[in-house]
A and B are shown apart, each in its own frame.
Chain A
């Protein structure tokens, strides 16, 4: 079954870039604009991987990660933090909360795919969409 990947970022630009990065692979990318929306989508869709920003309005990524890890049915979903914040204390705190991996913005598509493919199976997409790169 195709992997479900949830991208949680308040920036539409980043959500578009994440969706585009996974277009060549047989997977579904879901989107949320903040941690609160992210938790709701995670509960409803049970994604295989969450790509999570830190600084967001309404609910930030650290709070969402904390709540996710407290949730008995969601706590095993692996999370890759995708953030511009690389401060030592933040990284340590987020690692302790249970983030699987950490990717610092600015980032390249292949870095994101490399980290994601170590967690979920990403077979190449077949069909016209893959051929057109769309």
Chain B
């Protein structure tokens, strides 16, 4: 008889964060009310701020929030969205760990507004996930940064990377790793879903705006001259 804890220890797997498990259990209960969910969210200051940011999409700073309470925000976004926001924590962890392990680069999460929008040509990657949770993870970086990142992953001089396909494949693989980790957390939280292969290409201008419905969370990372923008888009929640 296989035991998951034994397997996880043997394989060196990391468990899903407790906060996500608590929210999942609460959301799975048919009788869970908004107040109970709000209490769990309110106990986590970081999650609270991120939920309020999603509920106030036009605010350029936290002082401009018109929706100011967790309960109001939950009514606006839907209770399911908060679980995906909680997933932003392991998503951030996955990005930091992937860059540290595969690129040899320490990046840290910064306020998304501190990374300027990519107005000129840049590399854009996207992976969709679908199932009990549906949405996509997007990643953007400038072409020079993508080249530098790919060279670091492949441990090759930058000027040896002549084939653009090598750069896009490497960036696509980094995105696959991050999204695969993210998808695993979703599945562990009871939100079984599948991911599609990455799509990575050069964009000459900013990508079109994400859908208004559902949840959109922007994340940004910076380290040693590298800036990476990540967007988590969650389609409208099927309650």
Binding site for B on A (CB under 8 A): 10-14, 16-17, 20, 55, 57, 83-92, 95-96, 101-108
| Minimal Cβ-Cβ distance residue in B for A96 | B2
Q: Which of B98, B169, B179, B183 contacts A106 (CB 8 A)?
A: B98
B176 touches A87 (CB 8 A): no
Q: Is the CB of A87 within 8 A of B188?
A: yes
**A84 and B177 in contact (CB under 8 A), knowing A91-B8, A91-B13?**
yes
Interface membership of B25, Cβ < 8 A: no
Are A57 and B4 touching (Cβ within 8 A)? no
Q: Which of A16, A55, A101 contacts B154 (CB 8 A)?
A: A16
Q: When A13-B153, A13-B170, A84-B179 are in contact, do A104 and B13 touch as well, CB less than 8 Å? A: yes
Given A86-B184, A91-B8, A106-B177, 11 other A-B residues pairs in contact with their CB atoms under 8 A: A11-B169, A11-B176, A55-B197, A84-B176, A88-B187, A89-B187, A92-B4, A92-B7, A102-B11, A104-B13, A105-B98
Q: Which residues of B contact A101 (CB under 8 A)?
A: 11
Binary contact track B101-116/A, C-beta < 8 Å → 1, others 0 = 1100000000000000
**Minimum CB–CB distance for B86 against chain A, Å:** 16
How many pairs of residues, A versus B, come closer than 8 Å at their CB atoms? 87
| Between-chain CB contacts (< 8 Å), 11 pairs | A11-B176, A16-B154, A86-B13, A86-B184, A87-B183, A87-B187, A91-B11, A103-B11, A105-B181, A106-B102, A106-B177
Instruction: Considering the complex, give the chain A residue whose CB is closest to the CB of B3.
Output: A92
Q: How many Å lie between the Cα of A128 and that of B110 in the bound state?
A: 46
Q: Tell me the bound Cα distance from A92 to B2 in angstroms.
A: 7
In the complex the two chains form, is B2's CB within 8 Å of A108's CB?
A: no
**Pair A17/B153 contact, Cβ less than 8 Å:** yes
In this complex, the member of B14, B97, B177, B180 whose beta carbon has the largest number of chain A beta carbons within 10 angstroms is B180
Q: Are B187 and A90 in contact (CB under 8 A)?
A: yes
Name the B residues within 8 Å of A87 (CB-CB). 183-185, 187-188
**Residues of A contacting B181 with CB < 8 Å?**
84, 86, 104-105
Task: Decide: A11 and B172 in contact? CB cutoff 8 A.
Answer: yes
In the assembled complex, how far is the CB of residue A7 from the closest CB belonging to chain B, in whole angstroms? 13
Known: A13-B170, A91-B13. A85 touches B184 (CB 8 A): yes
Say whether, besides A57-B197, A86-B14, A102-B13, A108 and B101 are in contact (CB < 8 Å): yes
CB atoms of A106 and B155 under 8 A apart: no
B184→A84 contact, CB < 8 A = yes
How many angstroms between the C-alpha atoms of A91 and B183 in the bound complex? 13
Asked if A84 meets B180 with Cβ closer than 8 Å, knowing A10-B197, A104-B12, the reply is yes
Asked if residues A55 and B11 are in contact (CB atoms below 8 Å), the reply is no
Contact of B184 with A95 in the complex, beta carbons under 8 Å: no
User: A96–B2 Cα gap in the complex (Å)?
Assistant: 8
Determine whether the beta carbon of B169 is less than 8 Å from that of A12.
yes
Tell me if B173 counts as interface (CB < 8 A to partner A): yes
- Among A55, A57, A95, A103, the one with the most B-chain Cβ atoms within 10 Å of its Cβ is A55
Q: Take A13-B154, A55-B176 as given contacts and tell me if A104 and B2 are in contact as well, using a CB distance cutoff of 8 Å.
A: no
**A37 vs chain B, min Cβ distance (A):** 16
Residue of B nearest to A16 (CB): B154
Interface string of B201-215 (1 = CB under 8 A from A): 000000000000000
